[in-house]
Structure 1
Amino acid sequence: MAKKRKKAYEVGELDQYLFGQGNHYEIYKKLGAHIVKNGKTEGVYFAVWAPNARSVSVVGEFNDWDTQANPMEREEPLGIYTCFIPGIKQFDMYKYCIETYKGDLIFKADPFAFHAELRPGTASKVYDLSQIKWSDAAWMEKRKNWDHKKEPMSIYEAHIGSWKRHPGREDEGFYTYREFAKDAVDYMKYMGYTHIELIGIAEHPFDGSWGYQVTGYFAPTSRYGTPEDFAWMVNYFHRNKIGVILDWVPAHFPRDAHGLADFDGTPTFEYQDPRKGEHPDWGTKIFDYGKNEVRNFLISNALYWVEEFHVDGLRVDAVASMLYLDYGKQDGQWVANKYGGNKNLEAIDFFKHLNSVLLGRNPGALMIAEESTAWPMVTGPVEEDGLGFSLKWNMGWMHDFTEYMKLDPYFRKDNHNLMTFAMSYAYSENYILVLSHDEVVHLKCSMLNKMPGLGFDKYANLKVGYAFMIGHVGKKLLFMGQEFAQLREWSEERELDWFLLAEKEHQAVQNWFRDLLHLYKKNKALYEMDDSWEGFEWINADDRYRSIFSFMRHSKDGKKNLLFVCNFTPMEWADYRVGVPRRKQYKLILDSDEEQYGGNGRKKQPVYKAVKQECDGRPYSFAYPLSPYGVAVFEF
């Protein structure tokens, strides 16, 4: 008997083969719910992978959630269940009713759903992505030749639900994707950011997880609108020359009954052995990176955000927890690999595959690792046994920097190396310097309240710290609110304390950080040789007793170089002498003493001429009045 010929939208033999091999990079176009025409009849084609289920049916608004009304047909060899249901429309809600091997009925959201019901509801919604219109062709074309190693990147890490809210509304007052885009673009252009990194975009049931416990990997959260609204936001950022990065969470997923956990009544997406398949600290499940279909689910999801929604990069959360089998576990809670070690060989292969495919198909896109250990070659090429990421968060710098900044200035001289050590490994990876949301929650204090002292000292400390960060090698990331010295820790339950900008101290910090970002964007010396020893040079890395750091940043053509002097104590130096390489004129282009930055407003001469007087091991030098916690940036 001849086999029934498959329609174009149906899961075919080739689809099953590629999915089974882990190489079906657009499997989301076949699995999930898709509005199609079966002959002249319009409806929805459903397909779900549930290999150990006894049976599966589709339940929803359209059949009064009747478990018998729309049974699905099992396709071998992978156990994909499919059916076509006529008459279903956009936004109709549905779930899969799965009969487990034990005979229990469980109700699951669609792992490949493009849209989801607003929490606390947990159903999936039918959604057609083909209606989305784009007008960012110029940005997408330019992206193909964009090289992150040679371009500035100042990233504004933001959470839409707590950036701003509409006051007095009965609901939470969330900004929609479109409202957020319009306001955030204006603000970011004013401040001088190049990229926005959004946390909490993939659908998640619990606000307090900040989006790091995902139940809908293919669904932009419905808290702020539809997938079309999300696309409109990305499009709007691009038209205003701002790149969009999303936080992406392939490390783990929650146990929520409607989510991926024990999807068909057995560990489907997670490792079967709980010693490999569960995070005891987080109470979550760990993806089985050894299973081809699971790897395919994750890789196709990463490609989906970049290719369907034009996202410019993914920041991959909790990479270390994936690389180490014993991460966050005690003896007896983990299983060694086949060589007896603690490396997850399957996760390593997954990263190499993921980064090769995504960056190979999308030149100019970014893959960014949040990796907190000294794992080698995170941004090294896969061909040389690296993991193939574009950039890595510099967690070591962040830890040393915040520890130093918390110290009373009197004790900084004994911890001087905390600020210089990062330069000893600065070129081992392609780094981003980060002061992220993780540093301003859970009683860690806001950036301002990490600073020692009272009043003026707190604000001045923060400003000199930010100047050091912008001058240092590496791309930059700062979490929202810290650019104007938010007093309180961040909470997802309220908007930022924008009212603080009515106070001159907070306005001064914002002015300072704004002008630092514009300085960074304007001067190639601060970014075009971030991956080369030739781009950074200490003038004096050892002035520990005065806790002053001086260094130069060089441009490739040598025409426009910068000299930074940063004073980390309240001591004033009427004529701080700094060594310089040439007998040139040094033009003061940024001075923290200016009134708009909260300084004393004392006028300084605009240009300083170096004289032949040895200092800091250099043949020439000039003297400059350096104020308490003073910062001076010179161009030469």
Structure 2
Amino acid sequence: MEQKRLKVLINDPWLDPYEGAINGRYSHALYKKSELTNNGKQTLSEFASGYLYFGLHRTKDGWIFREWAPNATQIYLIGTFTGWKENEKYALKRSENGNWEIKLPADALHHEDLYKLKIYWIGGQGERIPAWATRVVQDNTTKIFSAQVWSPEKSYEFKVKDFKPNTDPLLIYECHIGMAQKEEKVGTYKEFREKVLPRIVKGGYNCIQIMAIQEHPYYGSFGYHVSSFFSASSRFGTPDELKELIDTAHSMGVAVIMDIVHSHAVKNEIEGLGNFAGDPNQFFYSGGRREHPAWDSLCFDYGKNEVVHFLLSNCKFWLEEYKFDGFRFDGITSMLYYSHGLGEAFTHYDFYFNGHQDDNAICYLTLANDLIHQVNPHAITIAEEVSGMPGLAVKFE
């Protein structure tokens, strides 16, 4: 059966010479989607639910914790509850596909306990923050980061259930939570909600774009050197305070989108994913493609299904858990090209189809856009892209 001609080709005849390449990218996305969803036996949204499986979760009678660490030989959960020492009661067991798991009784962990993983691998060991941690805090004295159990007696309940952004037109106010106040200090979610949000509404905006708030070790990075992708930065307050900010914005008719950073990750090993279980390439490309030449950071391996699962689950997590209305994807140009777009002029369509593009990254972004609108059909997706890649923002057919 002959493939129906794509709308992007119909709408732009200048793309005719590149029809083969465009169809190839489309077919790649269809193939990968079929592979990830077991030939459509589950939806992409169901596939992208890793955050409900991995990490720390309450159960009916206790706790369960899971981590993906195929290179590990032994893992312990350590923390304030073990005196930061290894204890066999907190030893994880290896299961299938490089996953590790531990089940604990209800009194083994408590709200606001600090914890990490002590991971052993052939030839080494190290303390690590869990990759799927949803709360990470920094000690004010030692400046050491740790994961934190976040399980309050009463979780925040959103008052606005079904918010639909007003996009006709969409008037976006870009903001940074920590810098959005006049005092010489780091601002908070609470301060932003009480002091800044009303002024934004008064100014006529109907959307705020929150600059990178995924947890990051270095504040001077403005939040763009991410270490913990599922954690809202504790510098600005608690998860519940961020949820209340978003809920309040919705009650005022204001959509909330976040800068999501999937274009790279911080190099840090103890706080981040740089050498998670003795494998520097668990999440990242190997060889010369591992490090970003201009950003002093690491580049995700978008060709690895486990990494795609991690990143797609991250998109769904922020939509479902915090009710964000969409994303502005940071650094897209860097993802699209082997050169990261550095030193290229992009003065002709040839530059978009000359074989210097990362097809894995293009496929991931296609699936991410598809997933986001599967989870929330009214979601807003924006690409920070400076090369002008044709068809980048076209809806996936």
Q: TM-score, normalised by structure 2?
A: 0.81
Q: Is contact 2:45-2:371 (8 Å) kept?
A: no
- Select the residue among 102, 116, 120 that pairs with 1:83: 102
Matched, 1:134 2:147: no
| Residue 380 of structure 1: how far off its partner (Å) | 1.2
- Shift of residue 45, structure 1, vs aligned partner: 1.4
Q: 1:279 aligns to what?
A: 292
For residues 157 and 46 of structure 2, what CA distance do their matches in structure 1 show? Answer: 28
Question: Structure 2 CA distance, aligned partners of 1:72 and 1:108?
Answer: 14
Is residue 122 of structure 1 aligned with residue 145 of structure 2? Answer: yes
Shift of 1:379: 1.3
SS of the residue 2:194 aligns to: helix
In structure 1, C-alpha distance between the alignment counterparts of 2:138 and 2:210, rounded to whole Å:
19
Mapping for residues 46-57 of structure 1, pairs under 5 Å: 46-57=65-76
- 2:171 pairs, out of 134, 137, 154, with 154
Look up the match of 1:554. none
SS in 2 for 1:351: helix
Q: What is the Cα deviation at residue 367 of structure 1? A: 1.0
How far apart are the structure 1 equivalents of 2:37 and 2:278?
Answer: 22
Contact 2:212 2:261 in 1 (8 A): no
Q: Secondary structure at the match of 2:386?
A: coil
1:35 alignment counterpart: 58
In 2, Cα distance between equivalents of 1:340 and 1:207:
38
Q: Give me the whole-angstrom Cα distance separating, in 2, the residues matched to 1:71 and 1:306.
A: 33
- Name which of 304, 310, 313 aligns with 2:326: 313
TM-aligned CA distance change 1:37 to 1:155, over 3 Å: same
Unaligned regions of 5+ residues in structure 2, if any? 1-35, 345-352
Matched, 1:92 2:119: no
User: Offset of 1:306 from its aligned partner?
Assistant: 1.1
Displacement of 1:328 in angstroms is 5.6
- What is the letter of the counterpart of residue 160 of structure 2? D
**Partner Cα separation in structure 1 for residue 341 and residue 85 of structure 2:** 43
Preserved contact between residue 253 and residue 284 of structure 1 (Cα < 8 Å): yes
* Alignment map for 1:263-278 (pairs within 5 Å): 263-266=276-279, 267-273=281-287, 275-278=288-291
Contact 2:208 2:255 in 1 (8 A): yes
Q: Identity rate of aligned residues, in percent? A: 31
TM-score computed with the length of structure 1 as normaliser: 0.51
Q: Structure 2: how far apart are the matches of 1:112 and 1:373? A: 32
Equivalent in the alignment of 1:240: 252
* Alpha-carbon distance in 1 for matches of 2:204, 2:367: 35
User: What is the aligned partner in structure 2 of residue 353 from structure 1?
Assistant: 367
Q: Alpha-carbon deviations, 1:273-329, whole Å to 9, x = none?
A: 2x2221021111101100111111111111111121111110000001001012266
Residues in 2 aligned to 1:269 and 1:22: alpha-carbon distance in whole angstroms = 21
Deviation at 1:176, TM superposition (A): 2.5
Tell me by how many angstroms 1:23 deviates: 6.2
Which residue of 166, 169, 180 corresponds with 1:163? 180
Aligned length: 342
Contact 2:76 2:87 (8 Å CA) reproduced: yes
Describe the SS at the equivalent of 1:382. coil
* Structure 1 Cα separation of the partners of residues 45 and 208 of structure 2: 31
Post-superposition Cα deviations, 1:90-120, rounded to whole Å, max 9, x if no partner, equal 1111111111222x11111111111111362
- 1:174-231 residue CA offsets vs partner (Å, 9 max, x unmatched): 3331221121221012211111111131111111000001111111111111111110
SS at match of 2:285: coil
* Structure 1 portions without partners, runs of 5+: 1-14, 332-338, 384-636
Alpha-carbon distance in 2 for matches of 1:323, 1:303: 22
Say which SS state the counterpart of residue 59 (structure 1) adopts. strand
CA contact (8 A) 1:147 1:364 kept: no
Corresponding residue for residue 93 of structure 2 = 73
Q: Distance in 2 between matches of 1:183 and 1:201?
A: 19
Deviates more, 1:29-38 or 1:207-216: 29-38
Q: Which residue of 1 aligns with 2:349?
A: none
- Given that 1:315 and 1:370 are in contact with CA atoms closer than 8 Å, whether structure 2 keeps it comes out as yes
Q: Which runs of 4+ in 1 moved over 4 A?
A: 15-19, 328-331
Distance change >3 Å, CA 25–CA 123, structure 1 → 2 = same
